[in-house]
Chain A
């Protein structure tokens, strides 16, 4: 278990950002089919016949957020994240400072 840490501005921002409805996104190259995510978040993640996660892309409501965050945090390959899947033509929604 992680110890409680003092709330920094960044942590507060992250928490706020996580309150927006978001979807689970798998990095298919990083994922090695460990399968822990499907155990931790069976409401939205099932496994295919080869043990790789099939993720329901619908936005995650607040009631399921804790499970989603747990699945993200416990992925041994860090292959799961909460975010939005950027589409071509819509440059990814990352913050750029140029």
Chain B
């Protein structure tokens, strides 16, 4: 057998550092640097869907939905399919999608191209928030580099910034020229999405993982993380840790492991918010035993809340923000979230009781066209649960010895 000298394909990334080495490498921003690191993208059409199913990839945008189900549905739907890479990242505490888009645009585009090939789509849109100008430029440059060789039409579009803009039906509506507000499902975007076409909406990080699965396969993907939710996830870790920043966490690892990688806490921490503003508080005592899963991580934002900030004021402020971010379309969300936020503020002043707030959070849960009321209700319930003592003390005195340091970031404020 004659041996044909082949240019050695780059080795598959080992361990939990799959995306982050590229994020730290300025060369990965160019097509040549990207190909040198990862090699070419093999396109196998619909077979990729089976590989993604075997890999057990779930969405990294918040809902942790099984990726292959959407791939199947778009491929099965009739009409000219299209792929939308969701880089809207409306979660104020999350920065990982923007970093990925700035630093490894070609990996995201590979994901779009591989997904388009798998579902039979001829075009892909990378959708970004209008405030993400640097990321939009990076993507446009990357698309220009590939234009001559690319088999599908790739474009970058921006949508109005907002917490709800990245919800998949809101995104599809905004891309079609409508308001960035959710629509009732069904129809799901995979049935009738952008301009009525079957639309595969995937978070940009999900697409980056998909591009790696297309290269290295399901077995490689599963070599890290537990069987039921394998792989890694990008995490935006902020607040009271020594080295805040974006980490690639092995799924199934504990919150404690992650905090240690960040140099530990920089001052005493009262609790960690896991999963951004649709997430849940984990008390500092429970952090060591809390495992990171696609569901708990949600959009991948984790905030270490220092004991030196007023947790009550921080939670009240975020509850007000979430109420203000309601698209205002569904009665229970439009009326309920402001009522809950105000009641939470009054509770901190000793003028409101818990029962009514918990009745209301129960009432708004699941009663919107999207999951915004569910997420906001979950945040408030978790705040009351984990900061029960703090709320009680606040109610008695009407205040506490700490002030709101603004650790939980809001848009337009300087975050951490």
Residues of chain A whose beta carbon lies under 8 Å from any beta carbon of chain B = 27-33, 48-52, 54, 86, 88-89, 91-92, 94, 96, 98
Contact = CB atoms under 8 A, between A and B. Distances in A.
Given A29-B330, A48-B332, A48-B367, 6 more contacts: A27-B369, A28-B333, A29-B183, A89-B65, A92-B191, A96-B78
Nearest to A54: B363
B11 interface: no
B336 A48 contact: yes
Interface stretch (B12-20, B26-34, B69-77, B126-134): B69-77
A52 B335 CA distance: 10
Interface of B: 65-66, 69, 73, 76-78, 183-188, 190-191, 329-333, 335-336, 339, 360, 363, 367-369
Contact of A89 (B73, B183, B335, B367): B73
Top-3 shortest CB links A-B: A92-B186, A98-B78, A50-B335
Contact of A49 (B73, B360, B369): B360
Given A49-B363, A88-B69, A28 B184 contact: yes
A91 B332 contact: no
A51 B380 CA distance: 22
Contacts of B339: 49-50
Interface SS, A side: loop
Nearest to B187: A92
A40 B331 CA distance: 20
Nearest to A98: B78
A31 B367 CA distance: 11
Contacts of A98: 78
Contacts of B66: 89
A86 B329 CA distance: 21
A83 to B, nearest CB: 10
B188 A91 contact: yes
B191 A52 contact: no
5 contacts: A49-B363, A50-B331, A50-B336, A91-B73, A91-B186
B387 to A, nearest CB: 25
A54 B359 CA distance: 13
Contacts of B184: 27-30
A61 B186 CA distance: 25
A54 B363 CA distance: 8
Given A29-B329, A49-B360, A96-B78, A91 B191 contact: yes
A50 B330 CA distance: 11
B335 to A, nearest CB: 4
A28 B65 contact: no
